[in-house]
């Protein structure tokens, strides 16, 4: 260990780690030059959504759960609808499923553009925030905002508004948009597709720390499509289950230092969800245009470097633009826009791919349509363990770095998971304790 | 004022807030007050504060008045007015950022991107209670009336200039 470390006085304390959603802290303990512990402390009070759903009507669930997150409300609405409809034995016609996939593309574009341009790219380019980057490079921020706008517009037109859309309901949509409404989005999406392509090229040129890891990736997999709204739950270590079997393979455990439950696989513990997992398990489902962009960006069919996840996000943004264009071109308004979902006693399961990873919902419904029990497992909750194990390895490889540099790199690393601590329960303080 | 003059003025009042979070609805309450009483050339908008759509909302406007609830360690019901055309909001009124940019950050982003209107004035009403499901607290309800009167005076052509309050 280099001499300057002896001046650290035992700990590193970083104020709020901004540019993550919610409130939490990261404490890394170092003894005799070895990292002995890394804890993601999430101290934001729990929000008790699962409890407040009990006794509510099954038709209210999508709108209530969408309020868990202002960045990915569609993910909550979609997983909720899927689970409620599963409990009630309702089959949703393909045109409604296509419209759901379309609005979900809007959320991917909006969320990924926000994360790339305002939250994560500043780390790579040495800026304190997106705002500081905007002062030097307004052109970059304009591009990011233009891209995000395409996602926002899609959410507005299909969902009624960009944040917490109001047009989604159990069984489908309150109103199907007219063909003309969607055609109006086409030019903006064509432009967004080009901006997304430029984004892939831009982020591929960032300096990436050498941090590859043999992750256990978990995501959905669909027989024909890159997973967004549906699929089986799979891993790169042999897991391949129906969403209904989720509880037999995953478990949630409480830890003293987090108000968010940790999610683990029964037999093989820690796993990673999110863009890297989705891409590594499903890149074969991406169109040739997106894979060509991936190849030009230096990515093969998998990505195991946490920091390169920003490239994957850019590729997924490109894909979401292309997919939205495809869906709009093939659009026939579903008629009716929704199907009746008649309640019955039962348990239903739903899982979709939120921008930051798989989002699982399970509901027990009574015959009168009231919710008897609810379980919601958001992506950040699932990633807590892998964040902790990654940070142990990450800090251990960088113990000779000056304090401020180590802090900077840890913040950058944590932001690579795009953690949404609000969803998981919720600013991050980083403390490295040395003894 | 002639129609072309009104169009050229392009004045926008944006009330920001959440109706379901107690005093956070102060900006929306002012917007409703202004909507009922403002000169015809003034457009009033209710907004949730999402930064990108906020930028887009004021892109075509020349004069913009933002009204929002603030939490600045002062007395609930305090009314603040800042002309942020030339300088940022006071640091104490800038919230810590999460995924979503706050209104103050959105103003600075617009400044960096050259997307500030010709004039941007921000009214802040100090809130006391932001509890879920609560309505406006009595001091904030009074402050809504005070802020609305001041803003109306400012919006009325020929009215004496308003100074910081």
Are both A186 and A307 inside the same structural domain?
Answer: yes
Q: Which two tokens stand for residue A273?
A: 């969800």
Are both A14 and A34 inside the same structural domain?
Answer: yes
Cβ-based neighbour number of residue A11 at 10 Å: 15
Look at B50 and A118 and tell me if their CB atoms are within 8 Å: no
% chain B with pLDDT above 70: 82
Q: Which two tokens stand for residue B29?
A: 């309450």
Q: Contact A259/A421 with Cβ under 8 angstroms?
A: no
Is residue A230 in a domain?
A: no
Partner-chain residue, chosen from B52, B108, B112, that has the shortest CB–CB distance to A148 = B52
Question: Is the preceding peptide bond at A336 cis, omega within 30 degrees of 0?
Answer: yes
B96: alpha, beta or left, given left = phi > 0 and alpha = psi -120 to 50? beta
Buried b (16+ CB within 10 A) or exposed e, A224-258: ebbbbbbbbbbbbeebeeebeebbebbeeeebeeb
Cα-only R_g, chain B: 15
Q: Which of A204, A109, A112 is nearest to A150 (CA)?
A: A109
Each residue's pLDDT, cut to its tens digit, for chain A (435 residues) gives 333 333 333 444 443 334 444 556 777 888 888 888 888 877 665 677 888 899 999 999 999 988 877 778 999 999 999 999 999 999 999 999 999 999 999 999 999 999 999 888 998 998 888 888 999 999 999 999 999 999 999 999 999 877 778 899 999 999 999 999 999 999 999 999 999 999 999 999 999 988 999 999 999 999 999 999 999 999 999 999 999 999 999 988 888 777 777 888 987 789 999 999 999 999 999 999 999 999 999 999 999 999 999 999 999 999 999 999 999 999 999 999 999 999 999 999 999 999 999 999 999 999 999 999 999 999 988 998 898 899 888 988 888 888 778 877 887 888 888 876 544 432 345 566 766
Look at B50 and A131 and tell me if their CB atoms are within 8 Å: no
Neighbour order of strands in the sheet with B11-16: B42-47, B11-16, B63-70, B119-126, B79-83
Are both A376 and A404 inside the same structural domain?
Answer: no
Q: Which two tokens stand for residue A211?
A: 């941090």
Look at B98 and A135 and tell me if their CB atoms are within 8 Å: no
Look at B97 and A129 and tell me if their CB atoms are within 8 Å: yes
Is residue A408 in a domain?
A: yes
Domain holding A310: CATH number? 1.10.645.10
B109 vs A contacts (CB less than 8 Å): 130-131, 134, 141
Look at B53 and A142 and tell me if their CB atoms are within 8 Å: no
Specify the number of domains making up chain A.
Answer: 2
- Cα–Cα distance measured from residue B77 to residue B66, given in angstroms and rounded to the nearest whole number: 17
Is residue A287 in a domain?
A: yes
A135 vs B contacts (CB less than 8 Å): 112
Is residue A361 in a domain?
A: yes
The confidence score (pLDDT) of residue A264 equals 86
Distance from B39 to chain A by nearest Cα, in Å? Answer: 28
Neighbour order of strands in the sheet with A346-354: A346-354, A357-365, A371-377
Q: Which two tokens stand for residue B90?
A: 């006071």
> CB-based contact (8 Å) between B5 and chain A?
no
Are both A370 and A295 inside the same structural domain?
Answer: yes
Determine the Cα angle at A159 with ends A341 and A161, to 5°.
140
**Where are any strands of DSSP class E within A300-356?**
346-354
Q: A310: Cβ–Cβ under 8 A, 6 or more apart, which residues?
A: A116, A120, A121, A124, A203, A206, A416
A149 vs B contacts (CB less than 8 Å): 52, 56
B52 vs A contacts (CB less than 8 Å): 145, 148-149, 152, 162
Q: Tokens 């009314």 map to which residue?
A: B79
Look at A152 and B53 and tell me if their CB atoms are within 8 Å: yes
Dihedral sign, CA of A237, A242, A247, A248? negative
Give B27: exposed, middle or buried? Use CB within 10 Å, 0-12, 13-18, 19+: buried
Are both A38 and A115 inside the same structural domain?
Answer: no
Look at A131 and B105 and tell me if their CB atoms are within 8 Å: yes
> CB-based contact (8 Å) between A119 and chain B?
yes
Q: Which of A279, A325, A356 is nearest to A110 (CA)?
A: A356
Are both A121 and A186 inside the same structural domain?
Answer: yes
Are both A276 and A425 inside the same structural domain?
Answer: no
Are both A302 and A429 inside the same structural domain?
Answer: no
The confidence score (pLDDT) of residue A256 equals 76
Q: Which chain A residue is nearest to residue B48, measuring alpha carbons?
A: A163
Look at B112 and A145 and tell me if their CB atoms are within 8 Å: no
3-state secondary structure of A84: helix
The confidence score (pLDDT) of residue A384 equals 86
Give Cα A237 distance to the centre of its chain: 21
For the CA atoms of A124, A126, A132, A134, the dihedral, rounded to the nearest 10 degrees, stands at: -50
* Model pLDDT for residues B28-42, shown as the tens digit of each residue: 999 999 999 988 889
Give B4: exposed, middle or buried? Use CB within 10 Å, 0-12, 13-18, 19+: exposed
> CB-based contact (8 Å) between A16 and chain B?
yes
- Chain B segment 89-108 residues within 8 A of A by beta carbon are 96-101, 105, 108
Are both A144 and A201 inside the same structural domain?
Answer: yes
Look at A131 and B52 and tell me if their CB atoms are within 8 Å: no
- Cα–Cα distance measured from residue B21 to residue A218, given in angstroms and rounded to the nearest whole number: 37
The confidence score (pLDDT) of residue B54 equals 87
Partner-chain residue, chosen from B99, B105, B113, that has the shortest CB–CB distance to A71 = B99
Look at A134 and B56 and tell me if their CB atoms are within 8 Å: no
Q: Contact B80/B134 with Cβ under 8 angstroms?
A: no
- Chain A segment 63-82 residues within 8 A of B by beta carbon are 70-71
Q: Tokens 């807030």 map to which residue?
A: B17
Q: Which of A207, A158, A200 is nearest to A289 (CA)?
A: A200
- Cα–Cα distance measured from residue A169 to residue A140, given in angstroms and rounded to the nearest whole number: 37
Q: Which chain B residue is nearest to residue A110, measuring alpha carbons?
A: B52
Asked whether residue B23 carries a pLDDT value surpassing 80, the answer given is yes
Look at A21 and B99 and tell me if their CB atoms are within 8 Å: yes
Q: Which chain A residue is nearest to residue B113, measuring alpha carbons?
A: A138
Is residue A178 in a domain?
A: yes
Phi, psi of A124 (to 5 degrees): -70, -30
- Looking at this predicted complex, what is its ipTM? 0.70
Buried b (16+ CB within 10 A) or exposed e, B130-164: beeeeebbebbeebbeebbebbbebbeeeeeeeee
Distance from A185 to chain B by nearest Cα, in Å? Answer: 16
- Paired sense of beta strands B79-83 and B42-47, if any: unpaired
Q: Which of A9, A188, A175 is nearest to A106 (CA)?
A: A188
Distance from B22 to chain A by nearest Cα, in Å? Answer: 17
B108 vs A contacts (CB less than 8 Å): 131
Are both A108 and A30 inside the same structural domain?
Answer: no
Range of the domain at A130: 49-215+256-334+341-381
Give A210: exposed, middle or buried? Use CB within 10 Å, 0-12, 13-18, 19+: exposed
- Cα–Cα distance measured from residue A359 to residue A352, given in angstroms and rounded to the nearest whole number: 6
Are both A124 and A108 inside the same structural domain?
Answer: yes
Is residue A118 in a domain?
A: yes
Q: Which two tokens stand for residue A141?
A: 């921020």
* Model pLDDT for residues B73-125, shown as the tens digit of each residue: 789 999 999 999 988 876 655 544 444 567 888 898 899 999 999 999 999 99
Q: Which of B48, A42, B82, A372 is nearest to B93 (CA)?
A: B82
Look at B109 and A19 and tell me if their CB atoms are within 8 Å: no
Distance from B163 to chain A by nearest Cα, in Å? Answer: 29
Is residue A245 in a domain?
A: no
Look at B109 and A131 and tell me if their CB atoms are within 8 Å: yes
**Where are any strands of DSSP class E within A136-261?**
168-169, 172-173, 218-221, 232-235, 240-241, 250-253
- Chain B segment 45-64 residues within 8 A of A by beta carbon are 48, 50, 52-53, 55-56
Q: What is the DSSP letter of B133?
A: T
Q: Which chain B residue is nearest to residue A22, measuring alpha carbons?
A: B98
Give Cα A61 distance to the centre of its chain: 20
Are both A317 and A376 inside the same structural domain?
Answer: yes
Dihedral sign, CA of A236, A238, A242, A247? negative
Is residue A360 in a domain?
A: yes
């Amino acid at each position: 260990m280099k001499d300057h470390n002896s001046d650290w006085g035992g700990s590193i304390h970083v104020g709020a780690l901004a540019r993550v959603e919610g409130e939490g802290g990261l404490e890394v303990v170092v003894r005799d030059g070895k990292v002995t512990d890394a804890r993601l402390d999430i101290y934001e009070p729990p929000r008790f959504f699962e409890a407040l759903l009990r006794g509510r009507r099954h038709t209210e669930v999508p709108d209530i759960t969408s309020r868990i997150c202002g960045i990915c409300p569609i993910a909550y609405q979609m997983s909720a609808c899927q689970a409620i409809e599963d409990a009630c034995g309702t089959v949703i016609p393909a045109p409604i499923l296509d419209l759901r996939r379309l609005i979900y593309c809007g959320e991917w574009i909006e969320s990924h553009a926000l994360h790339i341009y305002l939250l994560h790219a500043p780390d790579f380019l040495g800026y304190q925030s997106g705002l500081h980057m905007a002062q030097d490079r307004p052109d970059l921020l304009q591009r990011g905002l233009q891209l995000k706008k395409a996602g926002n517009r899609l959410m507005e037109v299909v969902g009624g508004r960009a944040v917490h859309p109001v047009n989604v309901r159990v069984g489908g949509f309150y109103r199907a948009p007219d063909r003309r409404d969607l055609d109006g989005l086409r030019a903006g999406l064509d432009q967004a597709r080009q901006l997304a392509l430029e984004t892939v090229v831009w982020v591929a040129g960032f300096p990436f720390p050498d941090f590859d890891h043999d992750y256990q990736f978990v995501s959905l997999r669909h027989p024909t499509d890159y997973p967004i709204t549906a699929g089986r739950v799979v891993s790169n270590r042999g897991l391949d289950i129906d969403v209904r079997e989720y509880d037999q393979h995953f478990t949630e455990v409480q830890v003293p230092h987090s108000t968010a439950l940790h999610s683990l696989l029964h037999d093989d513990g820690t796993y990673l969800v999110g863009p890297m997992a989705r891409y590594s398990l499903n890149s074969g489902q991406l169109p040739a245009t997106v894979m060509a962009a991936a190849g030009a960006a230096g990515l093969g069919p998998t990505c195991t470097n946490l920091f390169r996840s920003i490239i994957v996000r850019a590729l997924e943004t490109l894909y979401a633009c292309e997919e939205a264009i495809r869906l709009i071109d093939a659009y026939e308004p579903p008629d009716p826009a929704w199907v009746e979902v008649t309640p019955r006693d039962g348990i239903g399961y739903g899982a979709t791919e939120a921008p930051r990873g798989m989002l699982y919902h399970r509901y027990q419904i009574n015959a009168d349509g009231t919710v008897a029990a609810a379980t919601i497992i958001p992506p950040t909750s699932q990633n807590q363990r892998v964040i902790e194990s990654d940070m142990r390895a990450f800090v251990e490889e960088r113990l000779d770095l000056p304090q401020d540099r180590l802090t900077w790199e840890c913040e950058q690393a944590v932001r690579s998971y795009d953690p949404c601590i609000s969803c998981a329960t919720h600013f991050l303080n980083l403390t490295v304790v040395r003894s | 004022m002639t129609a072309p003059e009104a169009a050229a003025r392009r004045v926008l009042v944006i009330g920001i807030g959440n109706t379901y979070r107690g005093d956070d609805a102060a900006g929306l309450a002012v917007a409703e007050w202004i909507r009922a009483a403002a000169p015809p050339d003034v457009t009033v908008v209710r907004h949730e504060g999402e930064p990108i759509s906020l930028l887009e909302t004021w892109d075509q406007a020349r004069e913009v008045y933002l009204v929002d609830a603030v939490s600045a360690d002062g007395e609930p019901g305090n009314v603040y007015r800042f002309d942020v055309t030339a300088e940022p909001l006071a640091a104490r009124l800038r919230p810590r950022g999460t995924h979503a940019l706050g209104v103050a950050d959105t103003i600075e982003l617009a400044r960096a991107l050259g997307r500030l209107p010709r004039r941007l004035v921000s009214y802040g009403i100090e809130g006391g209670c932001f509890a879920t499901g609560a309505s406006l607290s009595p001091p904030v309800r009074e402050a809504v009336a005070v802020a609305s009167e001041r803003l109306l005076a400012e919006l009325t052509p020929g009215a004496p200039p308003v100074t910081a309050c």
